[in-house]
Structure 1
Amino acid sequence: MGVLNIIKRIFVWWDGQTLGTQLFTWRRGERVGEDEQGNVYYRNADDTRRWVIYNGEVEGSRVAPDWHGWLHRTWDETPADRPLAHKDWEKPHMPNLTGTPQAYAPKGSIRRAEPMPRADYEAWTPE
Structure 2
Amino acid sequence: MSTLLRTLRNLRRIGLKEYGHQLQNIGDTKAGTFIAKDRYGNKYYENLVEELPLRTRWVDYKDKEYDAAQIEPGWHAWISYMVDKPPTEDPILQRRVRDWEPKEHRPTLTLSRSGYKPYSTTKNKYFPWIPVAKARQ
Q: Normalised by the size of structure 1, how large is the TM-score?
A: 0.56
Question: Deviations for 1:47-81, whole angstroms, at most 9, x for unmatched residues?
Answer: 96111111122443432221111012111111122
- 1:51 is matched by which residue type in structure 2? W
Query: In structure 1, what is the Cα distance between the partners aligned to 2:99 and 2:22?
Result: 42
Query: In structure 2, what is the Cα distance between the partners aligned to 1:39 and 1:86?
Result: 16
- Residue 102 of structure 1, CA deviation: 3.2
- 1:79 is matched by which residue type in structure 2? P
**SS at 1:68 equivalent:** helix
Where relative contact order (Cα < 8 A, 6+ residues apart) is larger, the structure is 1
1:122 is matched with 124
1:74 is matched with 82
Residues 98, 38 of structure 1: alpha-carbon distance in 2 compared, 3 angstrom cutoff: same
Moved over 4 A (4+): 9-13, 45-48, 85-95
Quick check: 1:51 aligned with 2:53?
no
| Contact 2:74 2:95 (C-alpha < 8 Å) held by counterparts | no
| Contact 2:88 2:94 (C-alpha < 8 Å) held by counterparts | no
In the TM superposition, what are the counterparts of 1:1-127 in structure 2 within 5 Å?
Answer: 9=20, 13=24, 16-18=25-27, 20-21=28-29, 24-25=30-31, 29-44=32-47, 46=49, 49-56=56-63, 57-82=65-90, 84=93, 91=101, 95-106=107-118, 108=119, 118-122=120-124, 124=127, 126=129
* Aligned residue-pair number: 102
Query: In structure 1, what is the Cα distance between the partners aligned to 2:22 and 2:39?
Result: 28
Query: In structure 2, what is the Cα distance between the partners aligned to 1:11 and 1:75?
Result: 26
The percent of aligned pairs where both chains have the same amino acid is 27
Residues 12, 100 of structure 1: alpha-carbon distance in 2 compared, 3 angstrom cutoff: farther
Q: Normalised by the size of structure 2, how large is the TM-score?
A: 0.52
Gaps of 5+ in 1: 1-5, 109-117
The alignment yields a C-alpha RMSD, in angstroms, of 3.8
**SS at 2:34 equivalent:** strand
